[in-house]
Amino acid sequence: MTKGRFGQYGGQYIAETMMSTVQELEEAYNHYKNDPEFQEELQSLLDNYANRPSLLYYAQNMTEDLGGAKIYLKREDLNHTGAHKINNVLGQVLLAKKMGKTRVIAETGAGQHGVATATACALLKIDCAVYMGEEDIKRQALNVYRMKLLGSEVHSVTTGTGTLKDAVTAAMKDWSNHPLDTFYCIGSTMGPHPYPTMVRDFQAVISKEIKDEILEVEGRLPNLVLACVGGGSNAIGTFYHFLEDESVKLVGVEGSGYGVDAPDTAAAMQVGRPGLYQGMKSIISQNEDGQVMPVYSISAGLDYPGIGPEHAHLADIGRADYVAIDDSEAVAAFEYLSRMEGIIPAIESSHAIAEAVKVATKMNKDQIIVVTLSGRGDKDVAAIARYKGEELYD
């Protein structure tokens, strides 16, 4: 099986009964990605609804404070709904409409992808149902209410541990029961082909813009590009248009939770090994028996036991490096950027900021780092306060 491969990773590891449904999606995507009208409509949604292009912001205070490389932030936090996820969902929901589907389903963990999908479905007038584990529903009441406000159904998933992986299973089951009218919108570069490629293509707008913007202000390419990695969609979007530019170092930053030595660390690239998970082959955190166990990071967007297959391949061939940042380092970076630049970053993005702080001082003043700020941190304020021992009530 060579379709949708990145080296040995990727592929389509799905039940026979799902094959024709996934194939229909693959064929539709292959058609519309080369359709100028589709691309024009998508670009118009990105520009006029999502607020693209996003700023490439020179973080002067941070640069001067650290005294090393010049730091730029790619401001995905300024997109509508506050993160990069809108880039992908607008693409997929537009594709669903083109395919004549009447219903979109999605899985969500902390609720960010669910809210983004519900948003795109409201805009494009298509029914939306979001699967969410019952534990996550309890923890994320605000996002559940947001999705309902946006006109979406939210289905509580009570099987397994009642978390993201069970929501994925429930969404898959729904899709296999309604293959004709339903489009399954996946939130990161994971799952069977064509998802990892399709989601990457929709997120590649990030690096396309960074390249134009940095050439405009600096007249040259950055030395280092950094992004946080959960499933890997903002990171691959950040890397994509630099893959051929060998002088640009690409680094993905995973959340290690209590540290890479903790048994439940979410840093899959540090402790994982090749395996099959959710329809793809990739680097997956698993125990000795090959069982995928729940992983932990303070960041709900980074506590995924695997990584997108293209990242696994980029690591294999040495084109990108993957490092880990733990909870305490990420929280310190969350506070640092808030103070230093007046920008409260998402706790996911704070992992990338933490790595930038670490390496900038070791670089020269004539070198350039671009960090993708995948989202804004308003959603995390209460959790960080709690982490610091303060209880907030709203």
Write out the catalytic residue numbers: 85, 107, 374
Pick from 62, 131, 375, 380 the residue near ligand PLP by CB under 6 A: 375
Q: What is the DSSP letter of 292?
A: P
Q: Does 117 bind ligand PLP (CB under 6 A)?
A: no
| Between 86 and 360, CB nearer to ligand PLP | 86
Mention every residue, 6+ apart, whose C-beta is less than 8 A from residue 345. 77, 333, 334, 337, 338, 353, 373, 375, 376, 377
How, if at all, do strands 9-10 and 103-108 pair? unpaired
Mention every residue, 6+ apart, whose C-beta is less than 8 A from residue 332. 354
Q: How far is the CB of 365 from ligand PLP (least distance, A)?
A: 29
Q: Does 230 bind ligand PLP (CB under 6 A)?
A: yes
The residue type at 384: I
**Cα dihedral 168, 162, 304, 293 in deg (nearest 10):** -110
Closest CA to 1 of 28, 32, 22, 30: 22
Q: Does 255 bind ligand PLP (CB under 6 A)?
A: no
| Between 107 and 213, CB nearer to ligand PLP | 107
Which of the ranges 36-44, 142-150, 224-232, 383-391 carries the binding residues for ligand PLP, by CB under 6 A? 224-232
Rounded CA separation 251/67 (Å): 21
Site for ligand PLP in 333-352 (CB under 6 A): 346, 348-349
Q: Does 234 bind ligand PLP (CB under 6 A)?
A: yes
Considering Cα of 61, then 66, then 69, then 72, what sign does the dihedral take? negative
Q: How far is the CB of 317 from ligand PLP (least distance, A)?
A: 20
Q: Does 83 bind ligand PLP (CB under 6 A)?
A: yes
Distance of CA 200 to the CA centre of its chain: 10
Pick from 91, 191, 192, 231 the residue near ligand PLP by CB under 6 A: 231
Cβ–Cβ under 8 Å, residues 114 and 150: no
Q: How far is the CB of 144 from ligand PLP (least distance, A)?
A: 16
Residue ranges of E strands in 7-126: 9-10, 56-58, 70-75, 103-108
Q: Does 232 bind ligand PLP (CB under 6 A)?
A: yes
Q: How far is the CB of 93 from ligand PLP (least distance, A)?
A: 17
Q: How far is the CB of 325 from ligand PLP (least distance, A)?
A: 13
Q: Does 229 bind ligand PLP (CB under 6 A)?
A: yes
| Residue 108, beta-bridge partner list | 132
Site for ligand PLP in 169-188 (CB under 6 A): 188
Judged by CB under 6 A, the number of residues near ligand PLP is 19
Q: Does 85 bind ligand PLP (CB under 6 A)?
A: yes
| Between 192 and 232, CB nearer to ligand PLP | 232
Which of the ranges 10-18, 19-27, 222-230, 309-317 carries the binding residues for ligand PLP, by CB under 6 A? 222-230
How would you list the strands of the sheet with 249-257, edge to edge? 56-58, 70-75, 368-373, 224-229, 249-257, 320-326
Residues of this chain that interact with ligand PLP (CB under 6 A) are 83, 85, 112, 188, 228-235, 301-302, 346, 348-349, 374-375
